Each structure stands twice: as C-alpha cells, then as structure tokens.
Amino acid sequence: MRLVLVALAFIVFYLSVAKAAVVWDGGGVVQTYNNGLRFGNLSNLDCAASGVCSFNRSVETNDYLIIPEVTTPTPIASKGQLYTKTDDKIYFQDGSGVEHEITGNTGTAADDVSARANLGLDSSVASNELTISLKQKNGSSDPTGGQTVDIAFRNSTLTNGGYVTRSVSTALSLIVDSGATLGTESGSDHLIYVYAIDNAGTVELAVSLSYFNAEGNLFDTTILSASSDSKDVLYSEVARSNVPLRYLGYVQSNQATAGTWVTLPSREYVGASPIPNIAFIEDRKTAGTAGGTFTSGADRTRDLNTLDGDSSFVSLSSNQFTLDGNKKYLIEWSAPAYNSVNRNVSWLYDITAGATIKQGQTTALSTNAYGFSEGWAIVEIFADTTYEIRHRCQTTRATVGFGEEINAIFSVPYELYTTVKVSVIR
C-alpha cells in the first residue's frame, strides 16, 4: 500500500535518495541543490523501494509524492531521511538515527501530557441500555491503525512523575445496563461524565455522575451492573484498582424512568472540563422562624439542612456535610448572629479528623446589631471527609441569637441563616 501526500506550496521535504536530496517549493525552475536537485511545482515523484526516484511533470495535474512503506532505515550521518511505515504515519530520521513522527491525527503532537488527540464520543440506546463509544474526532468513525485516538495518562506509579500516551486503534465502547440509574432521577437532566482509564496499557472507558478531576491520583472502579445506582461511584465494565484516569467529556441525558435508557442523550461533548462543580449548603427555616438560641460557653454546631447546586460530590446529614475524596476544594461559609451576643467567631471543623481546619472572621454585636462571621479554607482530601460549621459567642441570646426572622416585615418563602459554598478546584 502506498501513501499519497498532498504537497503544499512552500513546504520543503528532504528525501534520502542515494547521495542526493530532492527538494521542492512553490517555484517552477529545476535547480541544483547541494548534491541533488531542487524542483518547483512537482507533478509526480515516484520513489521505488530501491531508492530510485522518477519524475514526470506530465503524469498528474495535482502535485503529490508517492513513497513506499518501509521499515525504519539505517541512519546516514549528516543526512535526514523521510519515510512512511505500515502504521500509515510519516517519520523523519536525523543523521544520528533519532526518529521523529511528523504527522498527527489532529495536526498537533499527540505525545503531550495533555493529549486527547483525534477524540470523539458517540452514544446510542437500545434494549433499554445506554452505549457510549469512543470515536475519532468526527464523532462517528471508530479508531483505526491509521487513525488512532491518543490519550495521555499519568504514570501508574504515584512516585513517578512521568506520563504515558496510549493509542486506541480499534472500536471501544461501554454499556450501561438496563436498570442501572448511575444515580440519575426520573425526568431530570443529568451530565454523565465519560472517562478513559489505563489498565496496564489497555484503554478502557468508565462513567460516573461525579466529575473526577484529580487526575494526579489513581482510581478504583466498580463493575457496571443493573444495580449501578450511585452518583458518587466510578463505573467500568470490569472493576479495576489503582488505575490512571483521564476525563474525556460527557453526555447529557434525561430519561422518563431512571435506569430505562430509551431516549437518546440530548448533548455529547468532548474536550475542556465542564462548568466547575459548586454546591450550596444552607440553613433554611420556615418563613417567620428565628435562627435559634445562641448559647455561650462552648462551640455550637450551626444548623445545615438544605443542599442545592451540584450535589454530585457532597452529601448532607445531621448538620454535617461530607465531601468526596481525591479532590481539592474551596469552602466558604457565613454564620450570622444577632442582638447582644457580643464577641463571636465561627470555625470550619473536620469531624473525620477531629480538628479545626480554619477560623472565620471575628465580630462583636451590641443590642439589635446583626453581623456575620465569615471564613474560607482550601482543603485537599484523599478520602471522604465530614465537616461542620461551629460558632462560639460571649453572651447567650435566646431564640434570635443565630439570626432574626424577617417575614414579619417582608413576606419571604423561607428564612436563610448559615450558608456554605463548596467549589471543586480539581
């Protein structure tokens, strides 16, 4: 099989042909170039396996070059060699024998730590199952030996800071079983994140309702089945342990009955990461209900009862919120106080470790004064971790110490007191 290359004006190619170099650009005059020839506007140059090239300007109207597929040649000192092999790629070998690939599926170097070259995704539904397939960048063609999908992963050893690039050259897909909800809810839009994992050199697909962006870590996956119903779990067709992970993209799905995959995803996307994950955790109380008694003498746990925003990485129970491991977070909080509690300060407290993470702002409130102790902290955790907001005051204030209601003056749907905003950094 011969590889046909379209010649572009003003691009110069060097061919090792005996002791001559054949070179051309957009000019139209044949010239001597060092030990060889210089040609302009090539019509046809055919290089046989013997290394002999023939040139006939009248054979074709379009300029192109035909090169037979060869094995890696023996280096020639002070000479460069351009050739193609059976993998349908073009190489340049310098005089010292170093081989450089000069073609890529996407026109950029595939061997890069951020590489997701020639990448596309496709999805389909049949028999109440969802199939997600890796495709070339056109979104429809399976990878081939000549058009691979190249994905870079971190090294599988945590103490090795290098990376590897894996090439997918055959069809690759993943099936979400009928009955598996992945944590989705009926009649709601959900983003199903698609990942590649490096299983000892073989690329496999994984999915989750959670966005895992800490690609410097190694991950465990759980086998897909009809009971795969957790939004926090990374699923693959075979369970894997301690494997490198790359985010690929997502599909957006809305199924009338969660786990019954009959409606095609409304969106498929590859490339940049999605909108940052942000969750809001709040103390909402019925309109007209005060914040509660603020008792002095010790830290008091603030109420948190409502979870809003992206809940794929956080859960809430008994005034405590738990964040998924293997992520880095920005946690911001605001804790109100009212009417003569005097000096007060809040804290972010790690229940799992039994330690204060960071102190909030100090305030002092006199009669009828309203104030907020606010704070922020950046945490990176490698296992699920539970937190709460604690607050301490100088003087006890009954009923409204944690905040005064406003429904008596303004009609509101609810009263809002302590708030926490959690953003996934990576």
**Per-residue model confidence (pLDDT) at position 27:** 41
Q: From 117, 113, 114, 116, select the one nearest 103 (Cα to Cα).
A: 117
Token look-up 């190489």 returns 91
The pLDDT of residue 64: 58
Kindly tell me the burial class for residue 318, based on how many C-beta atoms sit within 10 Å of its own C-beta (0-12, 13-18, 19 or more): exposed
| pLDDT one-digit tens code per residue, 29-87 | 333 333 333 333 444 454 544 444 544 443 334 455 677 888 999 999 988 888 888 87
pLDDT digits (tens, 9 = 90+) for 296-308: 999 999 999 999 9
What's residue 65's pLDDT?
A: 65
Q: Is the dihedral of CA 268, 271, 275, 277 positive or negative?
A: positive
Q: Which domains does the chain have, with CATH numbers?
A: 2-101 (no CATH), 116-270 (no CATH), 278-424 (2.60.120.40)
- pLDDT at site 113: 75
Closest C-alpha among 99, 219, 116, 210 to residue 166? 116
Write down the pLDDT at residue 273.
63
Question: CB neighbours (10 Å) of residue 88?
Answer: 15
Q: Backbone dihedral region of 403: left (phi > 0), alpha (psi from -120 to 50 degrees) or beta?
A: left
Pick from 176, 104, 177: nearest CA to 136 = 104
The answer, as to whether pTM is greater than 0.85, is: no
What is the pLDDT tens value at each position of the chain, 426 positions in all?
333 343 333 333 433 333 333 433 334 333 333 333 333 344 445 454 444 454 444 333 445 567 788 899 999 998 888 888 887 778 888 888 888 877 544 434 356 777 788 999 999 999 999 999 999 999 999 999 888 999 999 999 999 999 999 999 999 999 999 999 999 999 988 889 999 999 999 999 999 988 887 788 899 999 999 999 998 899 999 999 999 999 999 999 999 999 999 999 999 999 766 667 899 999 999 999 999 999 999 999 999 999 998 887 899 999 999 998 888 999 999 999 998 999 999 999 999 999 999 999 999 999 889 999 999 999 999 999 999 999 999 999 999 999 999 999 999 999 999 999 999 887
Strands (E), 59-162: 64-68, 81-84, 90-93, 99-101, 116-117, 120-126, 129-135, 149-154
What is residue 111's predicted lDDT score, i.e. its pLDDT?
65
User: What DSSP assignment string belongs to 186-254?
Assistant: TT--EEEEEEEEEETTEEEEEEESS----TTS-B--EE--TT---TT--EESS--SSB-EEEEEEEEE-
Q: Are 267 and 251 in contact, with CB atoms under 8 Å apart?
A: yes
CA 323 to chain centroid: 19
- How far is CA 209 from each of CA 62, 232, 252, 253, rounded to the nearest angstrom? 51, 7, 10, 11
Q: Which residues contact 367 (CB under 8 A, 6 or more apart)?
A: 339, 340
From CA 14, how far away is CA 100, in angstroms rounded?
14
pLDDT value, residue 103 = 58
